[in-house]
């Protein structure tokens, strides 16, 4: 929670996607900025604080999640503010650059055109209506904490122009707002919508003015460095803006149908995804053969959405109904509305009566890899992103980024595969694909920082 004057800003975190939404109120009236699809979280906060929602504000048509804005506005009767220039098919309250709205006797917002992340991006400056003091800005994917939103999500033909627009937009906010105005971005907390990552959780215009490269570097330097540093982003992003322009409905979070073991086997054999939500350690020890491991303890929705062929039926395997419900909530945020089925319990339950035993594979550390390489040749598969591999890598390792692995499995060299990433999560996802393909493997469950310390020969970018 943040107190801006006597206005209250409640932060609604979605750490698995690296985003924030905001509920702002003056003890009577509230507005919400960039709500996620699962609007029950917002409704609960409104009830908890005893405030009435008057407006829902969108900074842009999001590329990394499906909005709950329209559904929230329809549920509460709030006005839904969307840029007048956005091509949408639903009724909204169109808002334009420079337009000021009094949301209550105490709150006034001004829409500011800040293109760069998208062509029609808006930021919203919040003023105390009694004093006129500009106290905060809700900057969406424009000015972030120590960074900006990335400008390449609309296609390479727009990237350079949007990068230059992003630089200009950040400078516009810095020029219009006082140093003590708080900065509340939507992206930048792990989201791939952020051009770079920062550990900051709070900031002001004054701090950004001295610390954010977009405000300390000249345009040419900043644009060049920004574009040189951009890496891959999740494939599911391509589906988000069209979904948001169509006006997403409120999600159905009711429990999916329960699948029996025979049905799970049929779904796997049909090429559907049966997704095990458990952590990587227990998955490696025993799992349904052919199932895929996207644990809830990591970037579940980001990586599942990145790797899955859109429209593939997904069945969820969880230790409890709560695990399945958590996964459903994560998936609706990226537009995967209903699982095909689910099953709860243990892997023994999920194969019972099918005549199929459990699959398993070994896990190890980088120190173990050092010892093994003294005795036999193994394939070292690095599933980190290309830029991570280029920065520092194990000498001789094969790099196939995780998001490319499902379609490049045939490129993994023959032999025993030791698969690693930066911390273990992506390696386990990759291992589940390799195991489903019948490959002998070991999943390295270790931090990459330990690779050099263990004695593995590393090649870095300077070499």
Distances (CA, A) of 12 to 1, 19, 38, 271, 302: 9, 9, 11, 37, 18
Active site residue 193: no
232: which residues sit within 8 A by CB, 6+ positions away?
385, 386, 401, 403
Strands (E), 286-432: 292-293, 314-318, 341-344, 362-364, 379-382, 392-394, 398-399, 417-420
DSSP, res 110: E
Q: How many CA atoms lie within 13 A of 128 on its CB side?
A: 13
The secondary structure of residue 455, as a DSSP letter, is: T
Instruction: Tell me whether residue 178 is exposed, middle or buried, using C-beta atoms within 10 angstroms of its C-beta: 0 to 12, 13 to 18, 19 or more.
Output: exposed
CB atoms within 10 A of CB 36: 26
In angstroms, the CA 253 to CA 204 distance is: 37
Contacts of 93 (CB under 8 A, 6+ apart): 55, 79, 80, 81, 82
Catalytic residue among 72, 301, 421, 427: 421
Which residue bears the tokens 């590329």?
63
Q: What is the rounded distance in angstroms from the CA atom of residue 145 to the CA atom of residue 211?
A: 9
Annotated catalytic sites, by residue?
Answer: 421
């Amino acid at each position: 929670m943040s107190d801006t004057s006597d206005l209250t800003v409640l932060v609604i975190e979605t750490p698995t996607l690296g985003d924030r939404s905001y509920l702002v109120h003056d003890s009577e009236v509230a507005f919400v900025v960039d709500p996620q699809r699962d609007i029950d979280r917002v409704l609960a906060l409104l009830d908890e604080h005893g405030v009435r929602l008057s407006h829902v504000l969108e900074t842009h048509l999001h590329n990394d999640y499906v909005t709950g804005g329209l559904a929230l506005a329809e549920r509460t009767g709030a006005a839904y503010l969307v840029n007048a220039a956005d091509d949408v098919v639903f009724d909204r309250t169109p808002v334009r650059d420079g337009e000021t709205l009094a949301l209550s006797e105490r709150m006034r917002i001004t829409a500011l055109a800040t293109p760069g992340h998208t062509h029609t991006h808006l930021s919203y400056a919040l003023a105390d209506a009694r004093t006129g003091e500009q106290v905060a800005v809700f900057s969406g994917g424009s000015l972030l904490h120590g960074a900006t939103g990335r400008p390449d999500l609309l296609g390479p033909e727009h990237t350079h122009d949007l990068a230059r627009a992003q630089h200009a937009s950040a400078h516009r906010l810095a020029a219009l707002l006082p140093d003590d105005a708080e900065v509340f971005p939507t992206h930048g907390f792990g989201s791939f919508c952020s051009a770079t990552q920062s550990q900051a959780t709070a900031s002001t215009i004054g701090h950004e003015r001295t610390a954010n490269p977009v405000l300390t570097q000249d345009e040419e330097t900043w644009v060049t460095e920004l574009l040189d540093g951009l890496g891959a982003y999740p494939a599911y992003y391509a589906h988000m803006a069209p979904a948001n322009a169509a006006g997403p409905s409120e999600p159905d979070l009711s429990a999916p149908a329960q699948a029996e073991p025979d049905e799970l086997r049929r779904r796997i054999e049909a090429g559907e995804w049966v997704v095990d939500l458990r952590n990587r350690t227990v998955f490696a020890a025993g799992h349904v053969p052919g199932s895929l491991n996207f644990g809830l303890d990591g970037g579940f929705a980001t990586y599942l959405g990145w790797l899955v062929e859109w429209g593939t039926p997904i069945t969820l395997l969880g230790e409890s109904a709560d695990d399945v419900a958590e996964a459903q909530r994560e998936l609706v945020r990226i537009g995967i509305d209903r699982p095909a089925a689910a099953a709860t319990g243990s892997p023994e339950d999920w194969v019972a009566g099918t005549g199929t035993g459990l699959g398993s594979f070994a896990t190890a550390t980088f120190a173990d890899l050092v010892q093994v390489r003294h005795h036999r040749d193994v394939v070292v598969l690095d599933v980190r992103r290309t830029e991570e591999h280029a920065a520092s890598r194990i000498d001789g390792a094969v790099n196939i980024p995780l998001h490319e692995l499902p379609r490049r499995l045939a490129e993994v060299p023959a032999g025993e595969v030791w698969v690693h990433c930066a911390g273990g999560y992506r390696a386990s996802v990759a291992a589940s694909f390799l195991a489903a393909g019948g490959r002998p493997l070991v999943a390295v469950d270790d931090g990459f920082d330990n690779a050099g310390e263990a004695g593995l020969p590393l090649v870095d970018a300077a070499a």
